[in-house]
Structure 1
Amino acid sequence: MDHTQKIQNIYPLSHMQEGMLFHSFLQDEGTAYIEQSVFTIKGQLHLDWFQQSVQSIIDRHDIFRTVFLPHVAGLKEPRQVVLRDRSFQLHAEDLTEMPETDQTAYINQFKERDRRKGFNLQKDMLMRISLFKTAPEKHVCVWSHHHILMDGWCLGIVLQEFMQLYESIYTGESVPLDPVQPYSAYISWLYDQDKDKAKEYWKNYLTDF
């Protein structure tokens, strides 16, 4: 099989991404850039719909189908590689038979193990989502990702889209989502900037400081 057919795009990293990539490999895929968000979901929850909604997010945003290569033959700089397809698998556990204090301890231990597990930036899907059922209509969600993908502000947008997509499955009605700009467009914009002009601007701006 021609593995290049699995690739949608290849492009450089932002300077911030390069820094995180360097430090991650320096720490042997350490935990410095592992982000975890934990929140409670109340009400009925359909796991199939949940998984389908997350998969739609992954299909919609190429950054969630991206791996990061520190060395590419013939190139000096690292590259991020967008894959055409990536399949998401939800991790779900039923803790309803545990006392509440045991549930809390179990989830906290899971969070620590999940953080220590880290991510292989060259192979892994850099986002993991786990659901823990703690009552008939209550789930705790642990949403982990590598910071090289996005910051907290972007995560808020992604979660909003996720809720809209889940609601769309529930109601059977399509949801109007804003058009997506691929991350490669931002990288292209960065590399098109006049660095000398920008340097001169900031030099003048900071003259009196």
Structure 2
Amino acid sequence: LKLLVSRHAILRTNFYSGWYGQPLQIVYRHKNPSFFYEDVRGREHAVAEFVAQDKARGFDLSKDALMRVAVFRTGESSYRFVWSFHHIVMDGWCLSLMTDEVFGAYVALLEHKQPELAPVKPYSDYIEWLEHQDAQEATRYWSDYLAG
């Protein structure tokens, strides 16, 4: 998880509102992931209770880690993995990419190998590309595409 957070700036980010009336995004150079582990063998409802509390807790965009991971040992060789995140940092499309990266790196590290991970493109590259797009052309394209 530390590797994932170090590679992806969005996972080291918080969002503040009310800074001179504007939202402000802060990307930290270093931020530890939120990780929780508990052995819950013999407590069959412990994971469900944790999930309910985690959902109720929500996220404070200005100070919380916006991705949380919890691992529960539920048996001699069984575990439950709970991965919570705010939609502002991840969506369903990128979740599979992140999951592949986490477990791919995990398997490599278990085998005492260096994980082979694709280079990360900074979000700023996308913003720069977006700023160079013709807004009128994009509006025309989507209006035509969604007509009817």
TM-score, normalised to structure 1's length? 0.65
Query: What residue number does 1:64 align with?
Result: 11
Could you tell me which of 91, 94, 101 is aligned with 2:36? 91
- Does 1 or 2 have the higher relative contact order (CA < 8 Å, sep 6+)? 1
Query: What residue number does 1:8 align with?
Result: none
TM-fit CA distance, 1:179 = 0.8
Could you tell me which of 49, 55, 59 is aligned with 1:115? 55
> Could you tell me the percent identity over the aligned residues?
37
Size of the aligned set, in residue pairs, is 148
Could you tell me which of 90, 96, 99 is aligned with 1:159? 99
Q: How far apart, CA to CA, are the structure 2 residues paired with 1:186 and 1:70?
A: 23
Q: How far apart, CA to CA, are the structure 2 residues paired with 1:201 and 1:167?
A: 44
Partner AA of 1:93 in structure 2: E
Q: 1:138 to 1:192 in 2, by over 3 A?
A: same
Q: 1:149 to 1:89 in 2, by over 3 A?
A: closer
Q: How far apart, CA to CA, are the structure 2 residues paired with 1:80 and 1:86?
A: 15
The correspondence of residues 1-209 of structure 1 with structure 2, limited to 5 A, is 54-73=1-20, 77-96=22-41, 98=42, 102-103=43-44, 105-205=45-145, 209=148
TM-fit CA distance, 1:196 = 1.7
TM-fit CA distance, 1:154 = 0.8
Q: Which runs of 5 or more residues in structure 2 are unaligned? A: none
Given that 2:34 and 2:65 are in contact with CA atoms closer than 8 Å, whether structure 1 keeps it comes out as no
Q: How far apart, CA to CA, are the structure 1 residues paired with 2:54 and 2:60?
A: 13
TM-score, normalised to structure 2's length? 0.89
